[in-house]
Structure 1
Amino acid sequence: MVSKEDIMNALKKVTDPHMGISIVDMGLISDVEVDDEGNVKFTLTPTNPACMSVLGMAMHAKEVVKGIEGVKSVKVEVKGHMMEKEINEMLNKE
């Protein structure tokens, strides 16, 4: 079974392109949830509400977590961005 620790360890591979620091170490990841079926959900909150890199970081984060053995689906929610509605629609299209 996939754990929250597995998710956080995978997300450490995703860095903020401007800072070169992992999004985990920057404190941008919260609300990590994993159910018994391997469905994962987490929130990414950028440091700047107009961050131009948030979509790229969120997409990379989603792909990294999808690559964990046992993960069935991944939903990333961006919060605190001026275009969060549009970004979340792009990120989580089925």
Structure 2
Amino acid sequence: MVDGNIKDEIQDKLSLIADPHMGISIVEMGLVRDITVDEANKTAKVVLSPTNPGCMSIANVAMASKLEIEKLDSIDKAEIEVIDHMMADTINEMVNKEE
């Protein structure tokens, strides 16, 4: 069972990230499609969908999302999945690359 509080914490972190074109939170804009948490492994997965399938800002938004989520004490690793974008595979590979 996933603790809703962790999801809320993640959503709060994502609310800090503004769409660079609109200046509105990516949560308010509906870009965050799903948040799943594996508490045992302290991992989170967030699915983002840009408003435009060619929007190149989504790569920066995805990276910012990963960095914000990984600031949480309850999460060690965040995976960001961009969907509905013409370069989703490349963006996902770049953002989630292991260091």
| TM-score bracket for this pair, using the shorter chain length | over 0.9
Question: Corresponding residue for 1:11?
Answer: 14
Which residue number in structure 1 is paired with residue 63 of structure 2? Answer: 59
Give the Cα separation in 2 of the matches to 1:54 and 1:12.
15
Which of 76, 79, 82 aligns to 1:75? It is 79
Of 29, 46, 49, which residue of structure 2 is paired with 1:45? 49
2:68 counterpart SS class: helix
Aligned residues between the structures: 94
Give the deviation of 1:3 after TM superposition.
1.2
Where in structure 1 do 4 or more consecutive aligned residues deviate above 2 Å?
A: none
Which structure is higher in RCO with an 8 Å CA cutoff and minimum separation 6?
Answer: 1
- Per-residue deviation, 1:52: 1.4
**Whole-Å Cα distance in 2 between the matches of residues 90 and 72 of structure 1?**
18
2:69 aligned counterpart, secondary structure = helix
- Any gaps of 5 or more consecutive residues in structure 2? none
Identity of aligned residues (%): 45
Deviation per CA, 1:4-63, whole angstroms, max 9, x where unpaired?
A: 111101100001011000000000002201112320001010000000100001000110
| Native 8 Å contact 2:19 2:61 kept in 1 | yes
Q: TM-score with structure 2 length normalisation?
A: 0.90
CA root-mean-square deviation: 1.1
Gaps of 5+ in 1: none
TM-score by length of 1: 0.95
Are the counterparts in 1 of residues 82 and 88 from structure 2 also a CA contact under 8 Å?
Answer: yes
